[in-house]
């Protein structure tokens, strides 16, 4: 049987995701490896992957050629981009990867660009009748808009540069402090991430809402699954407004009885281990899709009120040659092709 090798980019702290794809391969009876790329030898995920490769930053002109060469050398069947910066790049190059026999497990370039722009995301959603936070560029902020508000970068992740605005003084300061800022209405209710897996037609096959009870550095630290029809219906609406493929996470807050979206990330979420543990095995679904198998819809089929509480673990490395310990291949594309 031909090996089914999976490549996860920007491994960083995504140890659970590496382990989940390895478990999915085994459960499907598929031989294969889970391979990780990164730029940093101290990234934990590269120390649990079957093999790891050092690559340049996604902004480097050689990044895409190296990833294509790596997929050819390693006979990658599925590549899964994991960070917002590189999603448009992979979305635009899907046909190039497919020519090598590699399925790109993310949405199109157009979708990635929409979701990387928090203004455009909310404008598109609201135009389609999907409840989304009122979002403005500073120059377009209505005079009637008053604190509380929220200021964040137009493109950003991990809650970096995001600030609650309680006064006009706060607003004036943070609009000058935050790079390329936007202003959103302040949503006060409980916060949720809705994990969604979409098939090649853009239809959701699994939807799992999670309450983000404790958040650390923009990632869920403690939370629980919530089988709420309102959250599931909101995710369906969002998928009808914007076409997705693969894993998507929709961030929203409950305003009274209505959940309201403030951000969408067309990639695996940091809290995906909870969704998988609840019975929605997104890595297995994505592998099946890459194999051309049909994945029947299982909307709302997961363990409700399952809690996750996270903790830190560590690897210990000798400091003499971290790169030698971390990476199977440390050279650039011209050396591995």
Residues 267-288: pLDDT tens digits? 999 999 999 999 999 999 999 9
Instruction: Return the CATH class of domain 5-106+315-336.
Output: alpha beta
The number of CA neighbours under 13 Å toward the Cβ of 105 is: 30
Mean pLDDT of the chain: 92
CA distances from 189 to 211, 252, 256, 294 (A): 11, 9, 7, 37
Please tell me the CATH code under which domain 134-185 is placed: 3.30.1490
- Cα–Cα distance for residue pair 174/172, rounded to 1 Å: 6
pLDDT number for residue 315 = 82
Topology (CATH level 3) of domain 188-309: D-amino Acid Aminotransferase; Chain A, domain 1 (3.30.470)
The pLDDT > 90 percentage for the chain reads: 83
- Cα–Cα distance for residue pair 190/112, rounded to 1 Å: 26
Residues of the chain with CATH 3.30.1490: 134-185
pLDDT band at 216 (very low <50, low <70, confident <90, very high): confident
Please check the confidence at residue 330 and state whether its pLDDT lies above 50. no
Please check the confidence at residue 156 and state whether its pLDDT lies above 50. yes
Please check the confidence at residue 263 and state whether its pLDDT lies above 70. yes
Residues of the chain with CATH 3.30.470.20: 188-309
pLDDT number for residue 328 = 59
Neighbouring C-beta atoms of residue 158, cutoff 10 Å: 12
pLDDT number for residue 115 = 97
Own/partner pairs, 289-295, CB within 8 angstroms, 24+ separation: 289/103, 289/105, 289/199, 289/200, 289/246, 290/4, 290/77, 290/78, 290/103, 290/105, 291/4, 291/77, 295/197, 295/199, 295/205
Q: What is the mean pLDDT of residues 177-188?
A: 94
Q: What is the pTM of this model?
A: 0.92
- Cα–Cα distance for residue pair 204/107, rounded to 1 Å: 13
Q: Report the Cα 335 to chain-centroid distance in Å.
A: 30
């Amino acid at each position: 049987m031909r090996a089914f090798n999976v490549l996860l980019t920007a491994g960083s702290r995504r140890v659970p995701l590496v382990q989940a794809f390895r478990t999915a391969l085994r459960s499907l009876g598929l031989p294969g490896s889970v391979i990780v790329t990164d730029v940093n030898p101290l990234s934990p995920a590269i120390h649990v992957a079957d093999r790891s490769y050092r690559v340049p930053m996604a902004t480097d002109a050689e990044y895409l050629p190296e990833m294509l060469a790596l997929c050819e050398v390693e006979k990658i069947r599925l590549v899964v981009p994991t960070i917002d910066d590189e999603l448009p790049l992979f979305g635009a190059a899907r046909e190039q990867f497919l020519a090598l026999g590699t399925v790109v497990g993310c949405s199109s370039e157009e979708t990635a660009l929409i979701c990387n722009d928090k203004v455009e995301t909310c404008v598109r959603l609201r135009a389609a009748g999907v409840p989304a936070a009122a979002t403005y560029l500073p120059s377009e902020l209505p005079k009637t808009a008053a604190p509380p508000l929220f200021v964040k970068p137009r493109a950003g992740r991990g809650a970096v540069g995001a600030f609650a605005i309680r006064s006009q003084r706060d607003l004036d300061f943070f609009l000058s402090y935050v790079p390329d800022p936007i202003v959103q209405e302040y949503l006060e209710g409980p916060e949720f991430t809705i994990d969604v897996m979409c098939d090649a037609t853009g239809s959701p096959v699994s939807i799992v809402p999670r309450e983000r009870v404790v958040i650390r550095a923009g990632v869920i630290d403690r939370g629980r699954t919530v089988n709420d029809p309102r959250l599931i219906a909101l995710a369906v609406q969002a998928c009808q407004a914007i076409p997705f493929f693969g894993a998507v996470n929709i961030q929203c807050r409950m305003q009274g009885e209505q959940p309201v979206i403030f951000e969408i990330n067309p990639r695996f979420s940091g809290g995906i281990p909870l969704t998988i543990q609840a019975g929605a095995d997104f890595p297995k679904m994505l592998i099946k899709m890459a194999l051309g198998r049909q994945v029947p819809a299982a909307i709302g089929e997961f363990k409700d009120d399952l809690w996750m509480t996270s903790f830190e673990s560590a690897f210990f490395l000798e400091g003499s040659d971290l790169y030698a310990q971390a990476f199977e291949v440390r050279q650039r594309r011209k050396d591995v092709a």
